[in-house]
Amino acid sequence: MKHSRTIVRCASCDGFGWFDEGGGGQAEDCDWCAGAGYVYREGGRDSVIPRSDYTALAEELEALELQRLRELGYQGVAKKPWQQRIRKDTQLGRNPYNEPEDD
Ligand SMILES: [Zn+2]
């Protein structure tokens, strides 16, 4: 028998997936959600979403992320936390479209 399992925003990092340590560009993954920004909630308990589940959950996570960004007043396209971090290093001085997609 299966418990109903939902995906909820991480209570520790509030969906960000990491903590900015002092603004020096150093970001630490959130321990609670392993950097996903979201966790499984099942029977009142939260647990880390395994990275192997991200692909299957991509649509749901993206919808949650879009909702979160809207709450923050952000109007752009939703990016998952790990995508934002990947892009962080490619924004300045380089054309991101010249970068091969890591698929
Ligand atoms: Zn977290």
State the distance from the centre of ligand 1 to the C-alpha of 15, rounded, in angstroms.
Answer: 6
Cβ neighbours for 77, distance < 8 A, ≥ 6 positions apart = none
In angstroms, the CA 46 to CA 41 distance is 4
| Residue 52 belongs to a domain | yes
Helix (H) or strand (E) holding 83: helix 81-88
Please give the distance, rounded to the nearest whole angstrom, from the Cα atom of residue 40 to the centre of ligand 1: 11
Q: Of 12-16, 84-88, 89-93, which range is least confident?
A: 89-93
Look at residues 55, 59, 58, 49 and name the one whose alpha carbon lies nearest to residue 10.
49
Ligand 1 centroid to Cα of residue 31, in Å, is: 6
Question: What is the distance in A from the centroid of ligand 1 to the CA of 29?
Answer: 8
48 C-alpha vs ligand 1 centroid, how far in Å? Answer: 9
- d(CA 11, ligand 1 centre) in Å: 6
Whether 50 is in a domain gets the answer yes
What pLDDT score does 103 carry?
Answer: 55
pLDDT tens profile 41-65: 999 899 999 999 999 999 999 999 9
Output the pTM of the full model. Answer: 0.64
Give the residue numbers spanning the domain of 11. Answer: 5-90
User: Is residue 65 included in any domain, yes or no?
Assistant: yes
Is the pLDDT higher at 95 or at 30? 30
C-beta separation of 82 from 32 below 8 A:
no
The number of domains in the chain is 1
* Cβ(85)–Cβ(19) below 8 Å: no
Any domain includes 96: no
